[in-house]
A and B are shown apart, each in its own frame.
Chain A
Amino acid sequence: MNPLQKQENQMIGVKVENLKKKFNSFFALKGISLSINKPGLYGLIGPNGAGKTTLFKCITGLLTPTEGKVILNNTAVNRKLLFQKNIYGFIPEDVGLYENLSARDFLHILAGLHGLVKTQRKKRVKEVVDFVGIKYSPNKIVRYLSTGQKRLLLIAGILLHDPDILILDESLSGLDPVVRSHVSNLMKELSKEKIVLYSSHILTDIWKLSDEVFVLNNGILVEHDTPLNIIKKITKNVYYIESNDNEEIFSFLKKVSNIKKIEFEGNKILFQIKSENVIDEFNEILSKIMEKHSILSFGYYEPDLDQLFIKMVSSNED
C-alpha cells in the first residue's frame, strides 16, 4: 500500500518556533509558535489578511521566514532537502493546474514528480482516485473540470505520495454543500493517520470538524484549544432562558447579585453568571424562577459562530 516505504512509527509532527515573516516593512507574522505532534484535524481561522496563507507557505518552505524556524517530522524545513517535500502535501488557496492535460495524465505526472516509479504509479493513482471518489472520466481535460472536480483532483494529487502532513488552504471554499461535506469526510478520514492542517472561513465546518482550532489575527496566534473550550472561553458562562414571562424574569434576574450582563436576544434572555460554582448557581436561579413562571427552554448559550468569530477577533484588536 505504501509506495514510498516509509518507516513505521516514525514521529510525525509540525513544530513552528517564533516564526516571523516580514514583507517590506510590514510583519505578516509576528512570532508564531505552535506544536502539533499527533494525527488529527487542525483548523486555522482568522480574518482576511491575518496571515494564514503566509503561515502555510512558511511551513511548506515556499516562503523563507524572516526569523524563527519550522520543523516537520524532526527535520528543520530547508528548501534544499528534497525528501522533505514528500512529507507534506499542500493545496494552496490559488493553485493552478496543468490545464491542458487529462485528469489521468495530471495524476500520473504528479505521482512521477514525487518520485513514484512507473510500475507503482498506475496502482497508486487508482487507489487514490477510489479513495477520493472521483467519478468523472479520467480522460477529461483539466481545463474543463468544474471547481469541485478540480478540488477533488488536487486532493487526489497531494495524496499520491502518501504524505504525513496535509496542508489545505481554504480547500472547502467554493464547493456546494454535498461536495463540501464529502471533502470534510475525506479530511476526517485522513486525519486518523495524518496531520491535517486546514484553514477555512466556513466556521461551522471548523467548529464541527476540528480536533483543535488555532485562531490567527494580525499575525499573532490568539487562541489554541479545542472548539468547545474556545466557545466556553469566549462565552464565559452565558446561559439563556426562554419563557412567556420574559419581562418579569428579566427584572428578577436583575436583582440577583451573581449575574452580570443581562440582555435580550430574540425571545431569549441571556445572562452571564459570575460565581465559583456556575452550574449550582444556575440551577438555583432556575428553580427560583420556576416557582413562579413556566419556562419554554433554557441552557448553556452557544452563540452564532460568526458572532463568536467577530468577538474573538475584535477582542484582540486592542
Chain B
Amino acid sequence: MKINSRCVNYSLFIKEWKDAKRKLLPITAGIIIFSLFTILMMYALPYLVPDIPSELFPELTPTVLSQTFFSNANNILSIITVILCVDAIAGEREKNTFTLLKTAPVRDSSLIIIKTIVRFLLVIIPYIFSTLFAFFLIILMAGKPDIPIFLLASGFFILSLLLYVCIGLLISTFTKSQLSSGAVSVLVVFSLTLVSSLLNQEEAARYNFLQIPVNVFSFSFSNIEIIINVLLVIVFSILLLLLSIVIISSEKEPTKK
C-alpha cells in the first residue's frame, strides 16, 4: 500500500489554511491600525509631551517616518508573529486534535513545514497590506521615501518574519499548552530583541540581521553584506525547522497535553 503523500500534504495544507483564513482579516485590520498609529504618533508626540522643546524632536522626513515604522514593526510584529505561531502544535495538543494527525500517514517533516508555510502566509499577507498602507501614508504626510531602500527594508523584514515563524513553531513543539507557549515566546522574543539592540553598534550592526530593516535607513550596506544577512536568516530558520522536526519525531508521547 503506497501512500499518496502529495495528497496527504495538500489536505494538511488545506486544513491549516481553512483555519488560518479566519484570522486573516482581523490580523490585517489590526496591523494596519498599528501602522497608522505608529506614524501618526510621531506627529502627535510634540503635543503629548509639551515640556520637551520641539527642536529635540527629529524632523519628520520620509526616511525618519519609514525608519519609525520598521522599528516599531520590528519590535511589535515580531512578538505578534511568534504568538500567532505557537498554537501550531501546542493548540492541537490542547484541543486533542493532534491524534487525528498522528494517526494519519503524515510525515513529521511535512507537518512542520506545512504548518510553517501556512503561518508564514498568515503573517506576511497582513504585513504586506500594512506596509503598502504605511508607504502611501508616508507619501501623503511627508513625501516619497527612497523606494529601493524601502523595498529592501520590507523584503528583509518579510524574511525575518520567517525566522520568527520558525521560532514560534519550535516553541510550539515542546510546550504542552497555548498558554505556556505564549509565555515562553514572549520571553524569547524580548530577550532576542534586547540582545539584537545591544549588539546594534559599529561593525556588529552590519550583521545584526534582526535590525537590518531599521538599519538600512541609517547606513548603506554592500551587496555582499545583504547576501550574508539573508543567508544568516535562512540558515537560522532552517536550523530551527530541523530542530522542531527532530523534537516532534522523537517524542515518546506526542499527543500528551
Contacts and interface: CB of A to CB of B under 8 A. Distances in A.
Q: Do A and B bind each other?
A: yes
Interface of A: 4-6, 57, 60, 62-64, 79-80, 82-83, 85-86, 88-90, 92, 94-101, 105, 108-118, 157
A98 B97 contact: yes
B10 to A, nearest CB: 7
A90 B99 CA distance: 9
5 contacts: A95-B99, A101-B15, A110-B100, A115-B3, A115-B7
Contact of B99 (A92, A101, A117): A92
Interface residues of B, number: 32
Contacts of B141: none
Contacts of B15: 98, 101, 109, 113
B197 interface: no
B51 to A, nearest CB: 51
Contacts of B105: 82-83, 85-86, 113-115
B103 A85 contact: yes
Given A86-B3, A86-B105, 15 more contacts: A62-B254, A80-B249, A83-B2, A92-B96, A92-B255, A97-B97, A99-B95, A112-B14, A113-B11, A113-B104, A115-B5, A115-B7, A115-B8, A115-B105, A116-B4
Contacts of B10: 112
Contacts of B19: 98, 100
Given A4-B1, A100-B22, A62 B99 contact: yes
Given A82-B3, A83-B3, A114 B97 contact: no
B84 to A, nearest CB: 16
B101 interface: yes
B104 A85 contact: yes
A94 B96 contact: yes
Contacts of B102: 62
Contact of B107 (A82, A112, A117): A82
A101 B8 CA distance: 18
7 nearest A-B pairs in the assembled complex, by CB-CB distance: A112-B11, A96-B96, A82-B105, A113-B104, A96-B97, A96-B95, A85-B105
Contacts of A96: 95-97, 99-100
B8 A114 contact: yes
B42 interface: no
A78 to B, nearest CB: 12
B236 to A, nearest CB: 27
Contact of A113 (B1, B12, B95, B254): B12
B103 A109 contact: no
Given A94-B96, A115-B8, A83 B252 contact: no
Specify which of B3, B22, B255 lies most central, judged by the most chain A CB atoms within 10 Å of its CB.
Answer: B3
B253 interface: yes
A98 B97 CA distance: 7
Contacts of B22: 100
B200 to A, nearest CB: 42
B204 interface: no
A192 B106 CA distance: 29
Contacts of B18: 100-101, 105
A57 B19 CA distance: 27
A64 B253 contact: yes
Contact of B4 (A6, A97, A100, A115): A115
Nearest to B252: A64
Contacts of A99: 95
Contacts of A97: 97, 100
- Specify which of B4, B15, B252 lies most central, judged by the most chain A CB atoms within 10 Å of its CB: B15
B177 to A, nearest CB: 13
